[in-house]
Amino acid sequence: TTGQYGGLGIEVLQVDGTLRIVAPIDDTPASRAGIKPGDTIVKIDGTPVDSENIDDMFKKLRGDPGSKIVLSILHEKSDKPVDMSLVRERISVTSVKVRELEPGYAYVRLSQFQDDTAADLEKKLGELVKKNGAQRGVVLDLRSNPGGLLTAAVGVSDEFLDSGTIVTTRGRLQDANLSFSAHPGDLLNGAPMVVLVDNGTASAAEIVSGALKDNHRALIIGRRTFGKGVVQTVLPLDAEHAVKITTARYYTPSGTSIQAEGIKPDIALADLAVNKADSAASLIGSEADLRNHLANEDGSKDRKAIDNDGSAENAKLATQDYALSQALNVLKGLALNHGVPAQAARQ
């Protein structure tokens, strides 16, 4: 949660005596090696992981930057483990990345929720708007985001909400019963939002997804999220030891528990990759290709401008990241209807 440690860059969970990958963190040894949400670590440096040694295996994952480790990874829906040799690094996580996908459409990637995430989001999105003008819509990418601090999730949600409940927590003790609400002020001034999620979207990332979904602020696209809906509290014992215990459950604004259920997307999207279709060369692609065609009445137009309908850029994005291209298409549809006068909309 501070944004720095020595290791591989993965969020790991103990499941029935195994080590399951919740999510790799962007730009870390784990993500570059191709580790995915749902993968299982079956061996570490040749030693099988089992319920007897799992605590020692946890400790082995972290270590000094530059030290090497070999993980045997069983990919989801595979029956044959693969060995991956990785080098530990000083993991310095920049949790917020912001850029324009197309003029007027911003992309915000949150890789985890740490101390500075909400403030960094406000700064970077504000700089983009100042440079390029108000955005017509934003894609918020929370895929493979393993979560982090509750306070950071509340802060990020508040950046996009003018009002309403963000999340509530309920536990056995009165001190664990909390409710967080949004304050006036929306970084996007109500511009449409699409949130991308997958089975690696967990914990604090699910809080944000649930808050934006239940407050009808954003459409959720992708796969059902991980379902980690509990609050952990760290209790220091002395200078070197602490106990982390589960003290409460998270509930979305509609009162739904995230635990073991996750957030169901508004638009389900399979984990797919696409390739550009082969097409035969065409001598005539439009009226403008015909000899002696009538000129456009508005005057001559640049041939290159006529051909540039945006499909080439769409194909490039779709082959790189199919889910993101679909999210952008949905966002454009929302933006077309946004800001239309009520009377015109009724017509």
- Look up residue 336 and give its two tokens: 């077309």
What's the CA gap between 303 and 307, in Å, rounded? 6
Nearest to 137 by CA among 109, 165, 174, 100: 100
Closest CA to 108 of 22, 234, 193: 193
The one-letter code for the residue type at 110 is L
Pick the closest to residue 143 from 196, 188, 104 (CA basis): 196
Q: Of 26, 120, 158, 214, which one is the catalytic site residue?
A: 214
Q: Does residue 244 have an active-site annotation?
A: no
Q: Given 95, 213, 228, 325, which residue is catalytic?
A: 228
CA distance 228 to 225: 9
Confirm whether 228 is a catalytic residue.
Answer: yes
Which of 215, 219, 213 lies closest to 192 in space, CA to CA? 219
Q: Say if residues 28 and 87 touch (Cβ distance below 8 Å).
A: no
Question: From CA 336, how far away is CA 347, in angstroms rounded?
Answer: 15
* Other Cβ atoms within 10 Å of 37 Cβ, number: 24
Nearest in space to 155 (alpha carbons), one of 115, 193, 96: 115
How many Å apart are CA 344 and CA 347, to the nearest integer? 5
User: Which of 203, 209, 213, 325 is an active site residue?
Assistant: 203
CA distance 193 to 330: 9
Pure H helices in the chain? 29-33, 54-61, 117-132, 150-160, 204-214, 303-307, 311-320, 322-337, 342-346
Residues facing residue 86 across a β-bridge = 69
Residue written as token pair 């169901």: 264
Residue 54 has, within 13 A of its CA and on its CB side, a CA count of: 15
Distance of CA 26 to the CA centre of its chain: 10
304 assigned to active site: no
Catalytically active residues, by annotation: 203, 214, 228
